[in-house]
């Protein structure tokens, strides 16, 4: 076990920051499923990958989450399609099947 002093030194040199959040039981269960699906080391890794759109070794899992979020937006707005243009000018679309 590391000493308190060595842990402080490690944290001082660690570029990442610790955050604390509260999640509903449903959200926490979903996050734990994503940890397994992404084969991640923990919840923080999954949250970081989702925020940075980093597919890691499991791009299909990230695509599934993107489609799930896109579906939620389409249902909430009543739209049937949406498009995204990236920095290079490529366009990506999501269309809700009827």
Per-residue buried b or exposed e for 23-52, using 16+ beta carbons within 10 Å of the residue's own CB:
eeeeeeeebeebbeebebeeeebbbebbee
**Mind listing the pLDDT tens digit for each residue in 45-91?**
999 999 998 988 989 988 999 889 999 999 999 999 999 898 999 99
94: Cβ contacts below 8 Å, ≥ 6 apart? 67, 70, 71, 74, 81, 82, 83
pLDDT reading at 12 higher than 90? no
pTM of the model: 0.73
What kind and span of H or E run contains 13? helix 4-13
């Amino acid at each position: 076990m590391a000493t308190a002093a060595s842990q402080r030194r490690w944290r001082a040199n660690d570029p990442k920051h610790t955050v604390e959040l509260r999640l509903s039981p449903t959200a926490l269960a979903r996050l734990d499923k994503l940890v397994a699906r992404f084969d991640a080391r923990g919840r923080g890794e999954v949250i970081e990958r989702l925020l940075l759109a980093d597919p890691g070794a499991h791009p299909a899992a990230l695509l599934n989450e993107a489609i799930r979020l896109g579906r939620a937006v389409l249902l909430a707005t009543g739209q049937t399609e949406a498009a995204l243009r990236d920095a290079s000018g490529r366009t990506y679309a999501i269309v809700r099947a009827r």
